[in-house]
Amino acid sequence: MANEYNMALVIGAGLSLLAALMHVGVIMGGPSWYRLFGAGDRFVRAAQAGRRFPAVITTGIALVLAAWAAYALSGAGVIDPLPLLRPALCAITLVYLLRGLLGPFALAGTGRSIRFIVISSAVCLVYGLVHLFGLVQVWDSLAWCPVSEMNF
């Protein structure tokens, strides 16, 4: 029996889920983890002061990344099709690629460490390329379906 799942998108889902879990780990690890993973000085100081906004923003990022993992699994055929699957996968892929390519320019002078900027940009570029590879492979099988035609 042949595997009918798109492995590039399954890997992309795993990568997005890994990134989501790392964000949860940063929240649990506290200020030292924010610093270790390259958060800006403002975030680190806020976490040290017990402010909630670093955890709220980091939780939001983790939730978005988890949703992106679900969309990649849907595109891979592992789970049922999610709403607006084709445009969502295009947007996810584009965000990863843009973050990877433009991150070094967009994040310069923001208080984030050079290490964070370089590593996170490279990681996002790889994530984007994995998603792009999978998206190209499944493009024809992804139905373009307006929300009004979907069964909820």
pLDDT per residue as tens digits for the range 67-96 = 999 999 999 999 999 999 999 999 999 999
| Whether this model's pTM surpasses 0.85 | yes
Task: Check: CB of residue 148 under 8 Å from CB of residue 84.
Answer: no
Q: Which two three-digit tokens encode residue 60?
A: 């939001």
Cβ contact 123:96 at 8 Å:
no
Rounded Cα distance between 139 and 127, Å, is 18
Rounded Cα–Cα distance for residues 124 and 131 (Å): 10
Stretch 102-117: mean pLDDT: 86
CB atoms within 10 A of CB 136: 11
Instruction: Sketch the domain layout of the chain as residue ranges.
Output: 7-149
Q: How far apart are CA 58 and CA 23, in angstroms?
A: 6
* AA identity, residue 90: C
Return the higher-pLDDT residue of 37 and 129.
Answer: 129
Assign 1 a pLDDT band (cuts: 50, 70, 90): very low
Query: Which pLDDT score is estimated for 43?
Result: 86
